[in-house]
Structure 1
Amino acid sequence: MILRQPSSLLLCCLLVGVFVTFSNASQGDRLDEFKECVNVCKRENCAPGKTTEIPFLHMLLLWDCPAECDYTCQHIITNQRVANSQHIVQFHGKWPFYRLLGMQEPVSVLFSIFNFIAHQRGLHKLKAYIPPEYSMRKYYLIFSYCGMASWAFSIIFHTRDFALTEQLDYFAAGGSVLYGLYYAAVRIFRLDKLGSRKESVLRAWTSLCIILYCLHVGYLKTYKWNYSYNIAANVVLGVIQNMMWSVFSFNKYRASGMVWAMWPGFVVAWIMLAMGLEILDFPPFWGYFDAHSLWHLGTVGPTMLWYNFLVKDAQDDIAGQRFKA
């Protein structure tokens, strides 16, 4: 399954990127009235010898005078457009959100925290209900750590959008997608089982995934920061693992008749419905709740369900191994 969680959750969040244009420039940036507002603000408040008091929390999050002018002018222009019955536009690729405690997108930060907690609770569940001797346990634990790391970088990015925080967010999400494919192959094809042939295949598969990730990051960092390529790469990996888990889930349900075996399908359906929020992007309600933040909220439930599936699948696998013994 997908993005920053079950590989399917990771996929769909990135799949949305196919429908969304990423850009450092937006319609709002090109408005003459916005440019003039920023220039006037900087001239009156940020010129040498001018003293502009910036709240302490804002300074901690690296808001400086020009950034404060940019933020203030975004809302001045937005209020003017609303008063004139004109549509709200984006600035620097983002809607004009209201800050909270210096955070640029406080609701996305909050819902990213929810997802982080979902992975953290999932980690505790894996440790509590899957015995240490189960061969897939270590792969599932790493999945939890990848999920927590990915959402931690999402929290940082939505708190303050810089080139560095954006790149860390993308690299963490991309790593989670690739790891989702990695452990899906290990579980489905039972590469975790001991045996000289499978051990060789596992080593080759592990090496291939590490090399692919290094090449991916190296290309984006040293050659070109290419949004289209980044999205395409993650979507391809996500689609592959989605198909793998879907076939695995169907076959397991057909063999066992257990409803929980179909949970991966429920997760995918849930995410596909939530994905409509991103496709139907809209300005934030009350200056805080936009489609992207609600998308983050929509991934919390599927994450918890996915961990339940991993535990059930592990317990069923262990019971089957004992029965055969």
Structure 2
Amino acid sequence: MWLLPRTHFPSSSSSSSSGSLCRALAIFSFLLFAVSLFASPTAASRGDRLPEFKDCVQGCKERNCLSEKTPLPLHLRLLLWNCPSECDYACQRSVTASRAANGQSTEQFHGKWPFKRLWGIQEPFSVLFSILNGYVHYAGLKSLKRELPRSYPLYPYYRLFSIFGMFCWFWSTVFHMRDFVFTERMDYFAAGANVLYGLYLAPIRIFRLYRSTYARALRIWGIVCIASYTAHAYFLLGIRWDYTYNMAANVVVGSITNTLWTYWSIRHYTRLKSFWAAWPGLIVMWLIMAMSLELLDFPPLAGALDAHSLWHAATILPGMWWYKYVATLTLPPSFSYSFPSFIP
């Protein structure tokens, strides 16, 4: 098995950098929240324009939200539901049920399908799968911190990969629990940061930029990635919030990352003839097939399970596989990973 050359990398330095990153992410979240206070939702769908929906919402508000407001259960208030939003949700469900009974199509409202909420959670399955994805990174981080020798030069980079992953899936969970301008922004920016960090990590691992001889190239690469993300965030927040552009940017960055790992897999499998060398390429293929679910947008099954939630479900096992690959590539045979062993 090919192992990385061992070089000294103090653990205190990596812990400090990870702590600084966590503080930076917290500050970024606060600043984005401040900006979002001045934003307002603009997404509209065909369902919003249905006369029966408009009449339903108006009548509900007049009956329940004017002089004597109908009290909401505590669990709804904890998730920031109020009388108008409760009317909106109730009318979505009512209109959707009526249209289904009449053989009419299911329509989107405010840019989303009319999901059946659970305990006030708007998209229960997307929340569940986001939590499981986040746990994959949490468990991976704990295992690497416990088992990975601090002398491995890639140790801090893998730790940051886990931190970015947890940050991404935390905000995915929050966004799918309650869709506000702020939670949407945080979900998009956290996902973008996670995707871009994946691109930042790939050349470091593949071309061994962690070596001291490449110190200048590594700094330049880091500056390029930070500048790119800053420009991306500035365009979306300061110029125009463009969903198409945001998706295109993430697809381009992700495609470059996938190409690099596919190149790595082909090169090393050809040289080593070992199945584990092909794992990154197989993980990439899995993720590409999982992303295709986003192209199969359909009304949620049983009002709860849609293509987007299935996409989140499909990314759980590749995450587990990735951490096992990292362990196989960099750790001695005594390493024991905390996930089940059914992953090859």
Partner of 1:237, secondary structure, is helix
Is 1:229 the equivalent of 2:245? yes
Instruction: Tell me if structure 2 keeps the 8 A contact 1:181–1:237.
Output: yes
1:31-70 matches, cutoff 5 A = 31-47=50-66, 49-70=67-88
Is 1:243 the equivalent of 2:268? no
The structure, 1 or 2, with the larger RCO (C-alpha pairs under 8 Å, 6+ apart) is 1
Is 1:76 the equivalent of 2:94? yes
Superimposed CA distance per residue, residues 22-64 of structure 1 (whole angstroms, 9 cap, x where no aligned partner): x8111111111101111111111112x1221111111111111
Instruction: Tell me if structure 1 keeps the 8 A contact 2:261–2:284.
Output: no
Give the alignment partner of residue 293 of structure 2, picking from 255, 264, 277: 277
The amino acid across from 1:121 in the alignment is: A
Superimposed CA distance per residue, residues 89-142 of structure 1 (whole angstroms, 9 cap, x where no aligned partner): 111111111111111111110110110111111112322443110001110110
Deviation of 1:194 (Å): 1.4
Partner of 2:232, secondary structure, is helix
What fraction of aligned residue pairs are identical, expressed as a percent?
A: 51
Calculate the TM-score normalised by the size of structure 2.
0.82
Give the alignment partner of residue 91 of structure 1, picking from 109, 118, 127: 109
Is 1:261 the equivalent of 2:277? yes
Is 1:182 the equivalent of 2:200? yes
Calculate the TM-score normalised by the size of structure 1.
0.87
Unaligned runs of 5+ in 1: 1-22, 317-325
- RMSD of aligned alpha carbons: 1.3
Instruction: Tell me if structure 2 keeps the 8 A contact 1:185–1:191.
Output: yes
- Give the corresponding residue for 2:231: 215
Superimposed CA distance per residue, residues 170-197 of structure 1 (whole angstroms, 9 cap, x where no aligned partner): 00000011100001111111110112xx
Give the alignment partner of residue 162 of structure 2, picking from 144, 162, 165: 144
- How far apart, CA to CA, are the structure 2 residues paired with 1:254 and 1:130? 27
- How far apart, CA to CA, are the structure 1 residues paired with 2:188 and 2:231? 15
- How far apart, CA to CA, are the structure 1 residues paired with 2:301 and 2:200? 39
Instruction: Tell me if structure 2 keeps the 8 A contact 1:129–1:311.
Output: no
Give the alignment partner of residue 320 of structure 2, picking from 304, 315, 320: 304
Superimposed CA distance per residue, residues 148-171 of structure 1 (whole angstroms, 9 cap, x where no aligned partner): 110000000000000000000000
- Give the corresponding residue for 1:100: 118
Partner of 2:304, secondary structure, is coil
The amino acid across from 2:229 in the alignment is: Y
Farther off after superposition, 251-260 or 127-136: 127-136
- Give the corresponding residue for 1:200: 216
Instruction: Tell me if structure 2 keeps the 8 A contact 1:111–1:297.
Output: yes
Deviation of 1:143 (Å): 0.2
The amino acid across from 1:212 in the alignment is: S
The amino acid across from 1:305 in the alignment is: W
Deviation of 1:207 (Å): 1.3
Paired residues in the alignment total: 291
The amino acid across from 2:273 in the alignment is: G
